[in-house]
Amino acid sequence: MSDTPQPQAGEPGTVAVTVDRSGKREPTWVPPDQSGPMPRLRVKDLSHTYVDKTGRGTEAVRDISFDVVDKPGTGEVIVFLGPSGCGKSTILKAVAGLIVPTKGDVFLDGKLIEEPGRDRGMVFQQYTSFGWLTVRENVEYGLKLHGTPRAERRKLSQKYLEEVGLAEFGDHFPKDLSGGMKQRVAIARTLINKPRVVLMDEPFGALDPQTRWGMQSLLLDVSRQEDNTILFVTHDVSEAVYLADSVYVLSARPARILHRVNVPFFANRDASLKSTREFREIEEKLLDLLYSS
Ligand SMILES: Nc1ncnc2c1ncn2[C@@H]1O[C@H](COP(=O)(O)OP(=O)(O)O)[C@@H](O)[C@H]1O
Ligand SMILES: [Mg+2]
């Protein structure tokens, strides 16, 4: 690795980062040239200010630009890491089409995002499901809305319930499940629609650490199997290292991208990885970047 930030081939704006504890650090992120052909997802000059009833503005996101290219055959997880309240959810909401940004555009497969759509799936921290539907009916809900025949729905819901380890729980109601199991329902319900990108907003934030680690591993297994592109938001550094192929480090509010750090390929990602030196080094690097800006 070089001491001076060097863009790496094929990854616009990616830099090699060295740990330096000498205090304040300048951003190393260089926005990509976005004049070329559209990648899978393009976020361009995104800024957002919330305005309340009295007209008071809260600037949440400022000038965020990044591209996500399609990497067929590799489930890819891109993590946005930033302090609480910095604007992480706002970025995801803009991609989801849940807010109209004050400035800038988001394109999915070249198409401007103006509203929520089936090509994006979202998993929130709080499990949002229909309490009066069984687990299986919740998982099948999107397919039903779109007229998928019953037999086909059943086949697919069984596949996804198995993938998330809930094959035995199809006929239960969500209220009878633990927090981790509920989030597995949310993941199955999202993936069954085969979204182009999966947006995950601190989905494991409310779970106890043990369950959380299990869910992180499950997410990695499922995403590899499904060949998904996942944008994952967290303020948890350890979670970021565990899940990410690359991490965008965000500033305090208004969120700006400060750095992009590639996480090396770990041959085995299970809970024991978290106590290895390699893992801890990246964790430290990210902590340093997060708190020295
Ligand atoms: N609907 C809203 N109206 C006004 N302010 C909001 C709204 N949603 C979020 N904010 C403010 O915008 C800032 C960023 O919020 P958010 O994107 O939720 O941050 P994060 O997800 O990183 O915690 C916060 O200061 C928050 O209070
Ligand atoms: Mg949030």
Could you write out the DSSP letters of every residue in 1-66?
Answer: --SS--PBTTBTT--------SS-------PPP-SSS--SEEEEEEEEEEE-TTS-EEEEEEEEEE
Instruction: Please report the pLDDT score of residue 230 as a whole number.
Output: 95
Distance (Å) of CA 283 to CA 19, 30, 289: 11, 22, 10
DSSP letter at 207 equals S
**Which residue in 164, 155, 85 sits closest to 123, CA to CA?**
164
Cα–Cα distance measured from residue 203 to residue 171, given in angstroms and rounded to the nearest whole number: 24
Could you write out the DSSP letters of every residue in 246-274?
Answer: EEEEEPSSSB-EEEEEEPPPPS--SGGGG
Instruction: State the amino acid at position 62 in one-letter form.
Output: R
Cα–Cα distance measured from residue 27 to residue 289, given in angstroms and rounded to the nearest whole number: 9
88 lines ligand 1 (CB under 6 A): yes
Position 162 confidence tier, pLDDT thresholds 50, 70, 90:
very high
Instruction: Please report the pLDDT score of residue 20 as a whole number.
Output: 52
The stretch 112-135 carries a mean pLDDT of: 92
Asked if residue 18 has pLDDT above 90, the reply is no
Q: Do the beta carbons of residue 230 and residue 239 sit within 8 Å?
A: no
The stretch 267-286 carries a mean pLDDT of: 88
**Ligand 1: centre distance to CA 39 (Å):** 28
124 lines ligand 1 (CB under 6 A): no
Q: What is the pLDDT of residues 27-54, one digit of tens each?
A: 999 999 999 999 999 999 999 999 999 9
Asked if residue 68 has pLDDT above 60, the reply is yes
Mutation test residue for ligand 1: of 47, 56, 89, the one with most atoms within 8 Å of CB: 89
Mean pLDDT score of the chain: 90
**Domains in the chain with CATH codes:** 41-119+195-291 (3.40.50.300), 130-194 (no CATH)
**Ligand 2: centre distance to CA 149 (Å):** 36
Q: Which atom of ligand 1 is closest in space to residue 201's alpha carbon?
A: 21
Q: Do the beta carbons of residue 61 and residue 254 sit within 8 Å?
A: yes
**Ligand 2: centre distance to CA 143 (Å):** 28
92 lines ligand 1 (CB under 6 A): no
93 lines ligand 1 (CB under 6 A): no
Q: Which atom of ligand 1 is closest in space to residue 233's alpha carbon?
A: 21
Q: Which of 65-79, 90-104, 166-180 has the lowest mean pLDDT?
A: 65-79
Distance (Å) of CA 282 to CA 72, 81, 205, 262, 279: 26, 13, 21, 9, 5
Q: What is the pLDDT of residues 86-105, one digit of tens each?
A: 999 999 999 999 999 999 99
Cα–Cα distance measured from residue 262 to residue 260, given in angstroms and rounded to the nearest whole number: 7
**Ligand 2: centre distance to CA 125 (Å):** 9
Nearest CA to ligand 1 atom 2: 50
Six-digit token string for 211: 């369950």
Instruction: Please report the pLDDT score of residue 40 as a whole number.
Output: 93
